[in-house]
Structure 1
Amino acid sequence: MNQQRLTIALLGSGGGVAKAVLALLNRSAGDSSSPLHRHLAHCRIHCVDLKQRPKAYYREHCPLLSRDMSLHTLDANDTSLLKKLLKRIGASLVIDLSWADTVSVLSVCDELGIAYANTALENKEVDEMQELEGFTLIERFIRFEEARGGFTRAKAIISSGMNPGVVQWMALKLRNAYPDEQPIGCYIVESDDTFYADPKLAEERTIYSTWAPECFLDEALLNYPMLASGGVPLFLYNHVYDLRFRVKLGAHLFHGCLMPHEEALTLSRLLGVESGFLYKVSNPVTAILRQHREDSDELWSWKHQLLDPNDAPLDGADLVGVLLVYPDKERYMYNVMRSDEVAPVYGTNATYLQVACGVYGAVCALLLDEINTGVYWVDELLLNQESRYGDYLSYYMAEFVTGENDTSDGLLLQRMRDWPEGWRTSESE
């Protein structure tokens, strides 16, 4: 993108992901060797949020960027007002970290020829339709896929966070390292044991999460477990926390729950394999979700609390990776970040920083790479365009670990394990 002066509209600027993204951009602005330094030196950022933060908030968390920053209180779902704003400020890039309807916002960007990046598919109409309960993620995916062919002017990277996003790059990098061997399965895996360093701070009737608790509960409570085979979604009519699946990444061994996720669909479609997302959260939260499988509606009335290091010190780490399964072996690649190491530098937890790194990679790709006009999932971008997305990620992300397991447990349903009797007091592996 050749742009004399970069003008960014950041939607959802007051949220947790935006805070982490701004922290990374602020660091790039002060680092002459960073990929985006030259662009950020003459950049103007317009922060857009329905519940806008005060200017002091941005001065504290991104002081280098706040010097040339404007704040707007606006509902991004109001596409008429959003369009007027983007035209008036001459936006060249929209970073959408809001809960606004993805297709609507992207339609405005496409009409105006503005580059676009986001972290997740949003669709308010789907979320409000009770008859779609259990299938909201796949419905958002289907509606987006039906609309994307109509976008002809924008360059857009869809769902570039950690997962979806960075994990798609991991999967392709790992597969391409052994081009003569075809995997039969590709699983996205995450083990996040982040919690308060002092567990006594945990309150009763509270759900804790390292990212938006409402979105986490949507996956953990409302949607059915889903895997994909050759791009076809397959649903298991169980509660998510009825089932658990074994994951081994060298010395790391954990049992995750199967949850619906977009990258399982895109990777399954592109690689022609079985794919699913296996997620393990902290033991206290796992125990609550297990205990309330039959009365999960009650949990929506509980307090929902983000695990924020600015509230109290956090302990634990977030491990996110991919596991490629072959007939006779498994190969893996993962990234680990610790919140107690991330917080002093970026003022956020490890999960949000991982997501921000994916956004950073997408922004770099849109601004620095010669990408053809089009709307891309990250795996499609890497397969169909010349992009250095992975190089950009590595600038701020911790080391990626790769390895191989000697034997394979086979496809996902062969990995199912019953929950141990002692799950209420400990996570028995």
Structure 2
Amino acid sequence: MKIASHTLPLSDFRIPCLFLLTCLMLVPGSLPADEEAAPEEIELLDFEVWNRERGYWFGEYTLLNASGNANYKASDDPTSGQFNYRKYYGFINLQVKGSELKQRNIFIRPALELEGKDLNSDGTVSINELDQFGFTSPYDYQIDLATTTATPMQDGIEAGLLPFDYTEATEKTFTANQTATDNSGNLSGSYFGIPTTTTIIGNDTVLYRVGNETLYQNQLTTLPGNGTRVRTAQGFFNGTPVYASFYRETRFEDDVDENGIVTRTAREKFLAKLAEFRQLHNVPEANQTADAEAFFTTGLEEPEPAASSEVPSLAQWKTIHFSPEERADPAISGDSADVDSDGMDTLMEYALVSDPWSPDPGHLPRLVTISDTGSQYLGLQYRRRAGTSSLSFTIESSVDLFAWAAEKQTVQMSLEDNGDGSLTETIRLDTPIKDRTQRFLRLRVRSLN
């Protein structure tokens, strides 16, 4: 078998070839929220700010008291308050579906290194010594270097609280569920029985308030749209400010190879970083949240994108390559759209394992002539997505570019695995080329879903 590939312009072919880039299904864009819709009928993801909020987040946090220090206060619970609030860490899963928002948080609170704060080396870290490092405590702490334990002291005697290991970090969880209250994307819920309201401002700002007539907390979140967010919160008690916090957060994204295959999901990366930080900051198993994976499941999660051993569906592939706004616009992500103007529409980009945003004429099918059994045959050579049953590939021919018919009898000459989720297939027609016979070929791709 001998295959000749034609690279001349179409008009130079004696037997030219035409490629049809077609699809049978359009994905309609999301409609704006109905102004008259009841709150329970609202689609929160119609609002850009909730698309920016949704996902798996990691953050670095600072929490300061009214004097600008961080509290360091032992209690009857040896994992309650003796940790470094000047820099701690948060893992947040925030999911949105329909009119609901749910979030699950685990905060890792690193231990405060006490040994270096015993400035006079007398075996006790005093209230004054802690203050010099920016921490406020009602207790001195007698430290035992051999056992790395600290005993809370008050006025030179034990304060009656349990000693604790000052090298061990702790965890704290937070859970919040809210629902739409109107058709403007705003939410309400409760925090330990206290009413909460969430108000969105434009596409990039969220104001969260705890309290009804009495204000307990205001929290302002800014989402610039680049996978980051910044939050500040102010806490009050009887109208008096008692704390302020500053959060810096980054959202995890799926890892995707050049062929649109998800090699590692955002959730997998999120849970792996949690495990890494537990080890890095010495969170013993007894202090860890039990079954973190189950804790982080809200019930609102979308199905996981296909793993590297799986084939992404067309819909999954679109979530990788297009933002929610782009998926809502058929002119950008519709199956017949050609956003990069390379001659391949969205369905063909998916079928031929190409990038819809990067022009790549090299992924177009190629007209070939094949020498086989002493005759010359016309054929096509093209890449196609491996392992999918949701697409059909058909070669059609015409002698006048008007009347087209599927070639019912074709011969597969080769099928090569490219090792990147694609196959290269070479197919010839069943009948040999005849002298001075004009014939056109095209490849038709259909979605079977």
TM-score above 0.5:
no
Report TM bin, short chain: under 0.3
The structure richer in helix per residue is 1
The structure richer in strand per residue is 2
Q: What TM-score does the superposition give when structure 2 sets the normalisation length?
A: 0.19
- Higher-Rg structure is 2
